[in-house]
Amino acid sequence: MHTVALISNQTYAAYGVLSHLNITGFRSVGIFATPDELPSPAPSVIVVGPECDGALIWMCSRSAQSRSPVFCLDVGGGTSRMLEALHAGASGYCDGDQEDLATGVLNLAAGEKFVPHHLISHLVDAYLRLCNTNPMHSLEVPSGHDLTTREMQVIVLLVDGHTTKEISKRLVISEHTAKNHIRNILAKLDLTKRSEIISWYYRIQIAGFV
């Protein structure tokens, strides 16, 4: 039997989601606030709730506890939210329909991807605009932000999941210098955590082509 874990801080709504999945043939392994709490062995699929942003989805998809596929359950988020979730590493997305939720989670458990039929055309349109106008990993510094090209390189490597040590090797700089770049980025963007840098990057990239 396939197992599913839910990442959410909205306990009441989360129980409703898991109850529906239990009825459709999945076994719940619990509700968790962060991917660090996920159990071992890893669940077949991780479902993230509507309140989870791109940074949390990214952490779930790269969690040390699990390499399980991530399904984003949303409520009326639209194309921007779908693109944020998929870019962050989600393998599936639905906008609240329970039938789509069950079908999508089943697809992910079978090693496939899923977005609802009514969103596929929006996904294709956004992808074509992205290819033609604004590559997702552009190093161009967004207007209104006092970031250097080197700092943008560091941001892209953070988004790709690299550690400080790996960033220093990729950019041929010391680990101390890499840490300084990250501190400067946090200060310039008025942020406090690396995960917030990742979330910021998703927002500015999506704003550029949606």
CATH number of the domain residue 196 falls in:
1.10.10.10
- Whether 170 is covered by a domain: the verdict is yes
Question: For residue 79, what are its two tokens?
Answer: 């194309």
Average pLDDT over residues 145-162: 85
**CATH value at residue 62:** 3.40.50.2300
Same domain, 114 and 191: no
Q: Are residues 83 and 172 in the same domain?
A: no
Residue numbers of the domain that contains 167: 149-209
**Structural domain contains residue 135:** no
Question: Does a structural domain hold residue 93?
Answer: yes
Which strands make up the sheet holding 3-7, listed edge to edge? 27-32, 3-7, 45-48, 70-73, 92-94
Beta-bridged to residue 46, according to DSSP, are 5, 70
Alpha helices in 134-193, H assignment, sequence order: 149-159, 164-171, 175-188
Q: Do 120 and 153 have their domain in common? A: no
Question: Is residue 67 domain-shared with residue 114, that is, in the same domain?
Answer: yes
Residue 199 has pLDDT above 50, yes or no: yes
Identify whether residues 23 and 101 lie together within a single domain.
yes
Residue 111 lies in a domain: yes
64 has a pLDDT exceeding 60:
no
For residue 165 the two structure tokens come to 């040590």
In this structure, are 107 and 14 located in the same domain? yes
* 159 and 107 in a common domain: no
The answer to whether position 16 is within a domain reads: yes
Domain annotation covers residue 133 = no
In a domain, 40, yes or no: yes
In a domain, 109, yes or no: yes
Query: Over the chain, what is the mean pLDDT?
Result: 80
pLDDT tens track for 15-26: 778 777 777 778
Q: Are residues 14 and 90 in the same domain?
A: yes
Lowest mean pLDDT, pick from 78-82, 88-92, 176-180, 191-195: 78-82
Q: What is the pLDDT of residue 146?
A: 83
* pLDDT attached to residue 143: 56
Report which of residues 21 and 169 the model is more confident about: 169
Predicted local distance difference test score (pLDDT) of residue 49: 85
With contact defined as beta carbons under 8 Å apart, do 93 and 71 qualify? yes
Q: Give the whole-angstrom CA distance, residue 171 versus residue 158.
A: 12
pLDDT at site 209:
39
Question: Is residue 44 within 8 Å of 109, Cβ to Cβ?
Answer: yes
Q: How far apart are CA 52 and CA 22, in angstroms?
A: 22
Report how many domains make up the chain. Answer: 2
Q: Is the pLDDT of residue 195 over 70?
A: yes
**Higher-pLDDT residue of 198, 55:** 198
88 with 49, same domain? yes
CA angle 140, 206, 112 (to 5 degrees): 120
Decide which of 138 and 5 is more confident: 5
- Claim to verify: residue 31 and residue 85 sit in the same structural domain: yes
For residue 187, give the 3-state DSSP assignment: helix
Instruction: Quickly count: other Cβ atoms within 10 Å of residue 145's Cβ.
Output: 13
Structure tokens at 66: 């699990």
Residue 127, token pair as written in the block: 């992808």
Tokens found for residue 109: 């458990």
Q: Does the pLDDT at position 55 exceed 80?
A: no
Give pLDDT, residue 114.
Answer: 92
Q: What is the pLDDT of residue 127?
A: 65
Q: Give the dihedral of Cα atoms 113, 117, 121, 126; nearest 10 deg.
A: -40
- pLDDT exceeding 70 applies to what percent of the chain? 83
pTM of the model: 0.62
The predicted structure's pLDDT at residue 33: 86
> Sign of torsion, CA 136 141 144 147?
positive
Between strands 45-48 and 92-94, the pairing is unpaired
Give tens-digit pLDDT for 97-148. 888 988 999 999 999 999 988 888 877 776 666 555 444 445 555 555 788 8
